[in-house]
Amino acid sequence: MQPTVKPKNLNFSSGPCSKRPGYDVRALQLDTLGRSHRSALGKKALGLACSETARILGLPETCRVGVVPGSDTGAVEMALWSLLGARGVDVLAWESFGSGWATDVVKQLKLADARVLKADYGAIVDLTQVNFDRDVVFTWNGTTSGVRVPNGDWIPAERAGLTICDATSAVFAMDLPWDKLDVVTFSWQKVLGGEGAHGMLILGPRAVERLESYTPPWPLPKVFRLTSAGKLSEGIFRGETINTPSMLCVADYLDALNWIESIGGVAGAIARSEANLRVIADFVAANEWISFLATDPATRSNTSVCLSVDLSAEQVKKMVKLLESEGVAYDIGSYKDAPAGIRIWCGATIETSDVAALMPWLAWAYAQVSA
């Protein structure tokens, strides 16, 4: 039987992710538009993007938060190009984005002492094998496989190398051990439902120390440069961006941060995301034709939930198309490089009632396609 209730919001994409409930572009504070980003007004908005991020995330006072170009990719690559090469590096990869950072380190930076620890989609690398005397590059939540690190217990408080963490689909959705992460990056377009284009770069004191004591042997484009005459460019971490940002995206980000605060801050955002995951976990437990791609329940993502369906790749595509044409769900096919399956975003901007409304439709679409 075709279900009768549809999700009110069909946007289940894993990036850009759904706008927050009640979002209205007309409600953004747009007095910065058409003004210089270096005017007092522009700098104030950009400064708030940094300071409000730090306050709402509860970052240690020693952390610096900057807005950088190129979305999350820009922030990660800026860190890799600025920091690596001082010692050996372990790169951990278990899906597409982690593999991309491994390619950067091995094929682009061509670091001689690089070790890539790799696992297949659905699995995670053996975290006990990581050597923290070396720099460590990893993704907190693998968005394309729905596999996350279970926690930060595997990272020692005392370590010689730096930890560089792409946490774009984890910040505002998972508890992060900030004192164990020397570099954290994320973009506005994920958990907050913000816009692409700008990335957030969070530096702990050990990363700053590296920046001020080490100069990489390769050239650095201007958009990657975090230091000037051997000193950290502190202005970047007060909203003096390297180049011109979109003030419209900044206004949108400040709106998203306000919303996070209104739902109880990070704890509230995590609770919404976990409630969404629970709905899917209950559905998977009750239906044997669908399963989590993540094999270990401790590594199941509560944001990018990736599911395997007992169908051919062609049939899964049909299922995804059918759900779109029925006006039930958009963009829930797995990532282009990942195994065929379904991926449902479960971050805070998604209403649990919409995830619940989607579940019977999955069963219906499966029955249609497999018939």
Residues found near ligand PLP in the complex (CB under 6 A): 15, 71-73, 97, 139, 143, 166, 168-169, 187, 189, 196
Q: How far is the CB of 101 from ligand PLP (least distance, A)?
A: 8
Cβ closer to ligand PLP: 95 or 354?
Answer: 95
For 123, the token pair is: 């699995």
Cβ closer to ligand PLP: 73 or 163?
Answer: 73
Q: How far is the CB of 64 from ligand PLP (least distance, A)?
A: 20
Please give the helix or strand (H or E) that residue 251 lies within, else none: helix 247-262
CA distance 171 to 306: 18
CA 340 to chain CA centroid, Å, is 21
Q: How far is the CB of 34 from ligand PLP (least distance, A)?
A: 26
Nearest to 199 by CA among 368, 74, 99, 352: 74
Q: How far is the CB of 55 from ligand PLP (least distance, A)?
A: 23
Q: How far is the CB of 71 from ligand PLP (least distance, A)?
A: 3
Cβ closer to ligand PLP: 166 or 252?
Answer: 166
Nearest to 226 by CA among 77, 109, 102, 60: 77
Contact 290, 340 (CB under 8 A): no
Cβ closer to ligand PLP: 163 or 169?
Answer: 169
Q: How far is the CB of 239 from ligand PLP (least distance, A)?
A: 20
Q: How far is the CB of 68 from ligand PLP (least distance, A)?
A: 11
Cβ closer to ligand PLP: 94 or 361?
Answer: 94
Cβ closer to ligand PLP: 166 or 351?
Answer: 166
The single-letter DSSP state of residue 155 is S
E strands along 107-197, which residues?
Answer: 114-118, 135-139, 141-142, 147-148, 163-166, 183-187
Q: Given strand 304-309, what is the order of strands in its sheet?
A: 290-292, 304-309, 342-345
Please give the helix or strand (H or E) that residue 307 lies within, else none: strand 304-309
Q: How far is the CB of 196 from ligand PLP (least distance, A)?
A: 6
The single-letter DSSP state of residue 335 is P
Nearest to 255 by CA among 56, 40, 102: 56
The single-letter DSSP state of residue 106 is I
CA distance 51 to 283: 40
Cβ closer to ligand PLP: 181 or 359?
Answer: 181
Cis upstream peptide for 297 (omega within 30°): no
Cβ closer to ligand PLP: 26 or 336?
Answer: 336
Cβ closer to ligand PLP: 82 or 366?
Answer: 82
For residue 130, the SS3 value is: coil
Q: How far is the CB of 166 from ligand PLP (least distance, A)?
A: 5
Give the gyration radius of the chain's Cα atoms. 21
Residue sitting closest to ligand PLP (CB): 143
